[in-house]
Chain A
């Protein structure tokens, strides 16, 4: 088993073969990318725009992630927050919660970082439904921003709807808040809510699931895309199912300790799944729902 893995690793490093999953992403070595822009989103979240030193960024799909290296410190799995096919640099929205992400959020324009990827499954943009319901909490909106931008760049058919529900701790923690009006003008229904209000905030103060009863979607014609803290995902999935959306049409993005990102090291295992390879986007089917209720031992 180990020898097979080592052989695969050697082959991969030498570029001789590709594993059965995600052959385009078979990369153990980060490519140098330059920070060409950085935009402070909230007190601890920064969007960095990256361009490769050579060539163009590899193609990706919304929901996939890259392993981004802060040289000398470490590597972290970061969702891609830009839309595929967009002109310009690739964007990653990073929340500073540890040494690597802190370093990435403070890298100045012109600095080099490492990027390998893209990795993992995506939101399956080719298999949506007339009503696309996005439910995002906190930094969870980052991997869904590409979905929003992609859908809004396409002509919407008669009854197509894009509904974006966003939860955050407080108004100043709402991610991409400056883009909400732009999304609304393009046809999306956008409803933010916060846990704790603040002076000047006249929007909703409540949990994100409280928005569901008044959100204009038809459960029978909806695909729900959910990303946020795992507890929020559980509560949201339950509320969606109570509202008539079947588990098979609820897709969630899960986070674990991604290390190799190639499905070899096992750090990101969730039951039978290796989330770097089989995720991060998975259907909220029986096995996932059960696994999310499991307590760590």
Chain B
């Protein structure tokens, strides 16, 4: 019963919506539900990138610590978004911290488990890569827009 619910949750997340049921079952086999209290780290810079999160509720701040300037929030992610990409790409280490801003409910997915399944099943691997690439492209474009520093400029009046 528990695994069925987990598969349903996984299947409804935008990252995986539309995947064939056997692919969803494969992903769900690497997944577990987690709750993270406000202020707790989901990921820590430099740690092995072994788990990533499909957010269901709550918000997570992606942070970097700058000595002398404190912790800077680079980006926040919320429900239906994903926390953690470095599990896909060597050297499989987190580049930033990720901290729960409020009470977070998420599906935690074992990255090594999913990588292993994806390598053994190219159709699953390709389907995952397509979805991940779409989201990464969105994130890249959002970062580029922020680089424009839109609001810092103005027409001379």
Contact = CB atoms under 8 A, between A and B. Distances in A.
Nearest to A104: B157
Interface in B129-157: 142, 145-146, 148-157
A167 B157 CA distance: 22
A15 interface: no
A253 to B, nearest CB: 13
Contact of A167 (B61, B151, B154): B151
A213 interface: yes
Q: Is the interface of A mostly helix, strand, loop or mixed?
A: mixed
B101 interface: yes
Interface in A161-205: 167-169, 173, 193, 195-197, 199, 201-205
A28 interface: no
B72 to A, nearest CB: 6
Contacts, number: 82
Contacts of A214: 78-80
A228 B145 CA distance: 13
B152 A97 contact: no
Interface in B81-126: 101
A207 B146 contact: yes
Classify chain A: how many residues form its interface, as a range. Answer: 35 or more
A77 B157 contact: yes
A242 to B, nearest CB: 11
A71 interface: no
Interface in A226-244: 228-229, 231-232, 235
A202 B157 contact: no
Among B76, B155, B156, B157, max chain A CB count under 10 A is at B157
Contacts of A206: 75-77, 142, 146
Contacts of A173: 151
A173 B154 CA distance: 13
A229 B73 contact: no
B157 A232 contact: no
A201 B73 contact: yes
A172 B78 CA distance: 22
A203 B102 CA distance: 10
Nearest to B74: A205
A205 B142 contact: no
B120 to A, nearest CB: 32
Contacts of B76: 193, 197, 203-206
B145 A231 contact: yes
A235 B145 contact: yes
A195 B157 contact: no
A82 interface: no
B108 to A, nearest CB: 21
Contact of A228 (B59, B74, B150): B150
Given A204-B59, A209-B142, A210-B142, A197 B150 contact: no
A160 interface: no
Contact of B151 (A100, A137, A235, A257): A137
Interface string A120-144: 0000000000000000011100000
Among B75, B79, B80, max chain A CB count under 10 A is at B75
Contacts of A235: 145
Nearest to A211: B78
Given A204-B59, A206-B75, A206-B142, A232 B155 contact: no
A207 B145 contact: yes
Given A206-B146, A229-B150, 4 more contacts: A97-B154, A197-B72, A209-B145, A229-B151
10 contacts: A97-B157, A98-B155, A169-B152, A195-B151, A197-B76, A204-B76, A204-B78, A206-B75, A214-B79, A231-B150
